[in-house]
Chains A and B, each alone.
Chain A
Amino acid sequence: GDSVTQMEGPVTLSEEAFLTINCTYTATGYPSLFWYVQYPGEGLQLLLKATKADDKGSNKGFEATYRKETTSFHLEKGSVQVSDSAVYFCALSFGNEKLTFGTGTRLTIIP
């Protein structure tokens, strides 16, 4: 079946550091790919998405590029802030079907 594999956490970085959270997927066909963020005590918020190969999703300084050849959708940010501390989930779906989530990566940014 379809699956999403995320970088094991937790990840701890200093403020202004460069962030990469790896995400790879296994699926038959070409799904849409998503990154969701969950702040403490809250539900998930859509951070960015890409619907086809080579698309780049971006939002709030975060970026991820849909790489068909490596079946990856790594999340990057050039300079993280304390307010970016959260849990990040990579996910995939086909059209209107259900989302398949990765296990989540907890990110902590230290001032």
Chain B
Amino acid sequence: GAVVSQHPSRVICKSGTSVKIECRSLDFQATTMFWYRQFPKQSLMLMATSNEGSKATYEQGVEKDKFLINHASLTLSTLTVTSAHPEDSSFYICSARGQSETQYFGPGTRLLVL
């Protein structure tokens, strides 16, 4: 099956620093990647959709200058949380989609901002 990896799996940072999370499709070309945020015991909230080589489309209420998304190749997308604050602490999950409509999810990155 299709495999999506995320790195790092866990990160702790100080308030005010920036954190970059990578999402890779390992065995297929992902024309579209999605970034989600999940709060404890809640569902996934879509943050943005990115297509390779174009700007990401952000969901309403998501600050594009705070959550920078880059999808430079068909196998890699990055999410950078700029000037992170404690309220940004969350579980960030990416998914990738190739030719089929099925999204394949990464294992998630747990971010803790102190």
- In the bound complex, CA of A103 to CA of B93 (Å): 16
Contact A96 B101 (CB under 8 A): yes
Number of A-B residue pairs having CB atoms within 8 Å of each other in the complex: 46
Known contacts A101-B43, A106-B41; decide if A95 and B104 are in contact (CB<8 Å): no
Q: Which residues of A contact B42 (CB under 8 A)?
A: 103-104
Size category, B interface: 20 to 34
| Cβ contacts A100-111/B at 8 Å (1 or 0 each) | 011110100000
| Cβ contacts A21-38/B at 8 Å (1 or 0 each) | 000000000001010100
A46 proximal to B (CB < 8 A): yes
Contact B32 A42 (CB under 8 A): no
A49 proximal to B (CB < 8 A): yes
Per CB-CB distance, the 6 closest pairs between chain A and chain B, nearest first, are: A44-B105, A43-B108, A43-B107, A43-B105, A103-B43, A101-B43
Chain B interface residues (CB < 8 Å from chain A): 4, 6, 32, 34, 41-44, 46, 49, 93, 95, 97, 101-108
